[in-house]
Each structure stands twice: as structure tokens, then as C-alpha cells.
């Protein structure tokens, strides 16, 4: 039996926090730990999303609901964790910010994988990673594969919902686009199939949860660096503001006006 320390590789894990600032500055440890924790959550959410897609493909709605609930619970924790970083004042952050050079969450390939897996596809995201690198390979695979939205539509179809063929056969390398024919089907589903409508609502929870993370992240950015440019090279908060209010699953929102 491996011990706790061996099984969880605690020694290796605790050797991975390496501040770069002189001293080092006290707050850099928090900054490193929180980003590493996020990367671990991204890994776990991707793991669960792959499982969720498998369950939907196998028509196992009961377990799919359980997995979706787990993902939503993790997402709540991910949003709440931003509170911790907000205890760091702008001056505390500036004390080590220049050490980050061009490093930024912008470069997180797992975050881009998460976006792709959820259907927020943007081939331009690939260009940030060198051809042939592990990050690029992972993103290429996710870009070419169907997203959660596609698995969800196929699951509805195999449950007897008349999902339009054009939606089932859409180009999975593109972002999910609004489909009036699908909206009609979803509206009928909400009126007559409460169990499936409940699943649709959990998909909306997921979409809203991602938007919530984006909103809380940009607010944290504004209170920490104001309107400075990002270390990743973008316009900073002005860029992040353009990513808000953009639903992953537009038709699940649009039907609310049409009921
Ligand atoms: C003091 C804390 C933070 C600041 C000031 C900050 C700032 C920024 C800025 C300015 C950007 C825009 C891209 C650029 O760098 O030019 C960005 C993007 C991003 N940050 Fe942060 N961030 C912070 C903490 C975090 C944390 C804890 C995470 C968790 C992993 C994170 C994840 C991301 C991601 C994924 C993006 C890309 C978002 C997108 O393109 O939609 N950030 N951040």
C-alpha cells in the first residue's frame, strides 16, 4: 500500500511553487497556488466533460445528470475562489507583476480546451501554441471533435426528440449557432417532456456558470490592474469585456423570449 504522501505525490506537488520575485514578495505564493489550483480544476472538469459526453452517447441519462451536477458544483467553487485572489491589493500584485513578463492565463491551453469542449470554438486560439507542441495537439483534437452541445443534441435525438438534421450534422469545428428550427423543437420539449427540460436547464446552469466566471474574473482584473494592458499582450479588461454575455448555447437562452 503506498502511503498518503506517496500516492498523492505530495513531495513533488509541494516542490512546484517557485516564486520569481526577490525576497520573494509575500503575495506571489498565493498567485502561484491559485493558478495551479485552477489548472487542476480545469483538468478535472475536462475529465468529467469527456465522461459526460460518453454517458450521453451511451444514452445513460441518469449518470449523465449526476456528472453534470458534479461539473456544476466544481464550477461554483471555481467562481468562489476568485474571492481569495481579491484579497490581494493592486500594490501587492504590482510588487511582483513584472516578473510574469508575458505569462498570463490567456495562455492556459486547458482553459482553451475547456472552451472547445463546451462548443466555444475559435481556430485562432491554436495559433498561440507552436505547431507540434502538446498544447497544440490537444487543441487540434478538441477542435475537430464534437462538443458537449453536439453530444447533448444527439442524446435528445436518441430520446425521440425530433432534432433537425442540420443541427445534428452541423460543422463541429465552428461555434454553436442559433437555429430557429431547433428552437421550435426545444419549446415543444419544454412543454411536454419535463425530465428532458430539466436537463436543458442544467445546460443553462453550465452556460451561466462559465459567464459568471468570466464576469468575476474581469471584475477582479479591473480592481487589480484597472485598464492596464494584460501581460498576455491583450488590451486587458477591455478585451475581457468583449467575452462577456456570449452564451455557449444560444438557443437555450433565445427560447425564453419565445415561449
Ligand atoms: C491578479 C490576478 C489576475 C489578473 C490581474 C489577470 C489578468 C488577466 C488579463 C489582463 C487577461 C487578458 C489577457 C492578457 O493577459 O492580455 C487575462 C486572461 C485570462 N486569465 Fe487572468 N488574471 C488574473 C488571475 C487569473 C486566474 C487566477 C486565472 C485562473 C486560471 C486566470 C485565467 C485567465 C484566463 C483563462 C484568461 C483568458 C480569458 C479569455 O481569453 O477569455 N486569471 N487575465
Atom 4 of ligand 1: nearest residue by CA position: 221
For the cut 90, the answer to whether the pLDDT of residue 101 exceeds it is no
Segment 42-64 shows an average pLDDT of: 98
Q: Which residue has the cell 490567456?
A: 106
Sign (positive or negative) of CA dihedral 93, 99, 102, 104: negative
Q: Whose CA is nearest to atom 39 of ligand 1?
A: 106
State in Å: Cα 111 to ligand 1 middle: 10
**Which residues' Cβ are closer than 6 Å to ligand 1?**
34-35, 38, 85, 93, 104-106, 108, 111, 217, 221, 224-225, 230-234, 236, 239-240, 243
Mean pLDDT score, 183-203: 98
Contact (Cβ atoms closer than 8 angstroms) between residue 227 and residue 238: yes
Q: How far is CA 88 from the centre of its chain?
A: 24
Residue for grid cell 491551453: 109
pLDDT given at position 58? 97
Q: pTM for this structure?
A: 0.96
Distances in Å between the Cα of 183 and the Cα atoms of 46, 49, 59, 177, 195 are 28, 24, 22, 11, 18
Ranking 35-39, 54-58, 60-64, 94-98 by mean pLDDT, the lowest is 94-98
Give yes or no for a contact between 220 and 78, defined as CB atoms under 8 angstroms apart. no
Q: Which three cell numbers stand for residue 185?
A: 423543437
Question: Quick one: pLDDT at residue 1?
Answer: 87
| Band of residue 185 on the pLDDT scale cut at 50, 70, 90 | very high
Residue 209 has pLDDT above 90, yes or no: yes
* Alpha helix segments (H runs only) across the chain: 4-7, 10-14, 28-57, 61-80, 82-85, 90-97, 109-118, 134-144, 148-158, 165-168, 180-192, 194-225, 237-241, 250-258
Mean pLDDT of 69-75: 98
Neighbours of 5 (CB within 10 A): 12
**What whole-number percentage of the chain has pLDDT above 90?**
94
Whether the CB-CB separation of 255 and 190 falls below 8 Å is answered with yes
Amino acid at each position: 500500500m503506498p502511503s498518503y504522501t506517496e500516492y498523492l505525490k505530495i513531495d513533488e506537488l509541494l516542490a512546484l511553487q517557485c516564486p520569481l520575485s526577490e525576497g520573494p514578495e509575500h503575495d506571489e505564493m498565493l498567485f502561484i497556488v491559485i493558478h495551479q489550483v485552477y489548472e487542476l480544476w480545469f483538468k478535472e472538469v475536462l475529465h468529467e466533460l469527456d465522461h459526460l459526453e460518453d454517458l450521453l452517447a451511451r444514452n445513460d441519462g441518469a449518470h449523465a445528470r449526476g456528472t453534470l451536477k458534479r461539473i456544476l458544483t466544481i464550477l461554483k467553487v471555481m467562481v468562489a475562489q476568485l474571492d481569495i485572489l481579491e484579497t490581494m491589493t493592486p500594490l501587492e500584485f504590482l510588487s511582483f507583476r513584472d516578473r510574469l513578463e508575458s505569462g498570463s492565463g490567456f495562455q492556459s491551453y486547458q482553459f482553451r480546451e475547456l472552451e472547445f469542449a463546451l462548443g466555444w470554438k475559435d481556430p485562432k486560439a491554436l495559433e498561440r501554441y507552436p505547431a507540434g507542441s502538446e498544447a497544440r495537439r490537444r487543441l487540434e483534437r478538441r477542435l475537430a471533435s464534437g462538443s458537449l452541445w453536439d453530444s447533448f443534441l444527439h442524446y435528445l435525438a436518441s430520446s425521440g426528440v425530433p432534432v433537425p438534421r442540420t443541427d445534428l450534422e452541423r460543422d463541429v469545428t465552428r461555434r454553436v449557432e442559433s437555429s430557429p428550427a431547433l428552437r421550435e423543437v426545444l419549446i415543444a420539449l419544454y412543454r411536454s417532456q419535463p425530465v428532458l427540460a430539466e436537463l436543458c436547464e442544467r445546460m443553462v446552469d453550465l452556460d451561466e456558470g462559465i459567464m459568471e466566471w468570466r464576469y468575476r474574473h474581469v471584475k477582479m482584473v479591473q480592481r487589480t490592474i484597472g485598464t492596464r494592458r494584460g501581460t498576455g499582450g491583450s488590451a486587458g479588461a477591455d478585451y475581457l469585456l468583449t467575452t462577456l454575455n456570449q452564451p455557449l448555447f444560444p438557443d437555450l437562452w433565445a427560447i425564453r423570449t419565445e415561449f
